[in-house]
Amino acid sequence: MIKDPIVAQVRKVREAYARTFNHDLEAIFQDLQQWQRQTGHVYAPPPKKRKPARKVA
């Protein structure tokens, strides 16, 4: 497998970020929400509600 230096750097940064929160997903989520409020940038929009699929007879 070819090692991509960009992918390696992204993984390194992601690991360092997660480590600052002791890999606690709730803490990471709270930090990202705070970042969204401060910057006004939406990191990930909430999921859209879907209508149930119709049954085909």
Q: Which two tokens stand for residue 31?
A: 């930090």
Least confident of 13-17, 30-34, 39-43: 39-43
How much is the pLDDT for 19? 98
Q: Which two tokens stand for residue 41?
A: 């940038």
How much is the pLDDT for 5? 95
pLDDT for residue 2 is more than 90: no
Coil vs helix vs strand at 44: coil
Domain boundaries of the chain, sorted by first residue? 5-39
- Measured between its terminal Cα atoms, the distance across the chain in Å is 49
For 45-57, the pLDDT digits (tens) are 777 888 877 877 6
pLDDT higher at 53 or 23: 23
Task: List the alpha helices (DSSP H) in the chain.
Answer: 5-20, 25-39
Q: Which two tokens stand for residue 32?
A: 């990202």
How much is the pLDDT for 57? 65
